[in-house]
Amino acid sequence: MSIAAISIDSIREKVIAGERLTLDEGLFLYRDDTPLHDVGALADMVRMRLHGEQVYYNINTHLNPTNICVYRCTFCAFRSDLRDPKGYAMDDEEILQRGGEAVSNGCTELHIVGGLHHQKEYDWYLNIIRILHEAYPRLHLKAWTGVEINWFEFLTGKSVREILEEMIEAGLGSMPGGGAEIFHPEVRGKLCEHKADAGKWLDIHRQAHQLGLRTNATMLYGSIEKIYHRVDHLVRLRELQDETGGFQTFIPLAFHPENTGLSHIRKPSSLVDLRTIAVSRLMLDNVPHIKAYWIMLGIGTAQAALSYGADDLDGTVRHELIYHDAGATTPELLSVEQLCHLIREAGREPVERDTLYHPVVRDAGDPAGWELDPVGR
């Protein structure tokens, strides 16, 4: 179909029939003159087809073992130099304390990402996984972006497969989706010149999927990229998912400019956020879940996104630092009651999940006690 022949009606026909949308159709959906409510309605149709009225959340804690990083990505407000007063690296006691806090608060997941500390050896990173898993074997460890795995390659000379196998043996449960940023080299070279390129990031996730790890995927939008770069990014993720089926959740991440090298750029509007959520749901027909990350979107926009294709709000998110360092004004924690209220107020049914989307059943007498729902497994 030629670009001139694309319309919201022709796209609606394909969505109803369950047919895949093209890159050009994705570009059409992103255009300002394509009515947002129409795009949102189509995305909501797909969400409903996949998940009914269920919206997922989890009880999780973040762990950023260090903010010291060799890279100087222009969009990052989290990183620090070694001699910067705000720089830190956690020791084993602090790491285990964070794990213990997570368990005592009923968390099912510890989300672990951080800086690439040039004075820490690979074994320091491996040991983080090992000691946490040994101390808290039920706590799911979702750790290390593709960029961090690539850094471990550099440190050790080992292959990606060897590193992933060692991490899995130590207790790694899955991988987050960070470090993807924008794949297209026109943008990636300006945002994060020395970081793992698109081919490397995708190959690391390919190998993780081949080893049985489930991973997430992200896209950083609203900095210097154009609409074409966003849709190209989604298509590349879709192609890998066709090959491996290993992505479980896609998380669009809005750029927050404060305290970055791009502080002159405005943060994306809520309308751009909602359109990005909706286009992502429509283009990524083979990725099960689309997350509205409330820390990044803001609570109101995240709630609205539940009608624009999103089926996941992330979780309670204790100790999030990366987005708050970049100026996020959202709370640093939401209670389960607050999350469930947001979901119910949007007309949806809240479902607590673990990292791999198994439903969780709570012990009414012990808030920290939980089991996986045998019916939902």
Contact (Cβ atoms closer than 8 angstroms) between residue 173 and residue 141: yes
Q: Between 43 and 86, where is the model more confident?
A: 43
**Where do we find the tokens 């022709």?**
10
Rounded to whole angstroms, what are the CA distances from 300 to 217, 304, 333, 354? 23, 6, 15, 24
Render pLDDT for 52-79 as a digit per residue (tens, 0 to 9). 999 999 999 989 998 888 776 665 666 6
Tokens of 59: 């009880």
* Rounded mean pLDDT, 185-207: 90
HEC assignment per residue over 171-199: CCCEECCCCCCCCCHHHHHHHCCCCCCHH
- Over 60: is that where the pLDDT of 321 sits? no
Rg (the chain; Cα; Å): 20
Contact (Cβ atoms closer than 8 angstroms) between residue 96 and residue 132: yes
User: What percent of the chain stands above pLDDT 70?
Assistant: 90
- Over 90: is that where the pLDDT of 184 sits? yes
The set of residues, in sequence order, having a beta carbon less than 8 Å from that of 328 and lying 6+ positions away, is 256, 295, 296, 320
- Over 70: is that where the pLDDT of 312 sits? yes
The pLDDT of residue 327: 41
The pLDDT of residue 159: 98
The full set of domain ranges for the chain reads: 3-59+153-372
The pLDDT of residue 229: 97
The pLDDT of residue 323: 38
Which architecture, in CATH terms, is 3-59+153-372? Alpha-Beta Barrel (3.20)
Q: Between 9 and 377, where is the model more confident?
A: 9
Render pLDDT for 327-374 as a digit per residue (tens, 0 to 9). 444 455 688 888 899 999 999 999 999 999 999 998 877 878 899 877
Instruction: Provide the 3-class DSSP secondary structure of residue 110.
Output: strand
Render pLDDT for 208-250 as a digit per residue (tens, 0 to 9). 999 999 999 999 999 889 999 999 999 999 999 999 999 999 9
Q: Between 47 and 181, where is the model more confident?
A: 47
Render pLDDT for 243-279 as a digit per residue (tens, 0 to 9). 999 999 999 998 876 766 677 778 789 999 999 999 9
The whole-model pTM stands at 0.92
The pLDDT of residue 319: 47
Task: Single out the residue of 261, 290, 243 nearest to residue 48, CA to CA.
Answer: 290
Residue 216: DSSP 8-state = E
The pLDDT of residue 115: 85
Residue 339, classified by CB atoms within 10 Å of its CB into exposed (0-12), middle (13-18) or buried (19+), is: buried
DSSP string, 292-344: --HHHH-HHHHHHHTTTT--EEEE--BT--HHHHTT--S-S---HHHHHHHHH
Render pLDDT for 115-166 as a digit per residue (tens, 0 to 9). 888 888 999 999 999 999 999 999 999 999 999 999 999 999 999 999 999 9
Contact (Cβ atoms closer than 8 angstroms) between residue 73 and residue 260: no
The pLDDT of residue 69: 80
Residue 267: DSSP 8-state = P
The pLDDT of residue 223: 87
- Cα 39 from Cα 35, distance rounded (Å): 7
| Mean pLDDT of the residues in the chain | 90
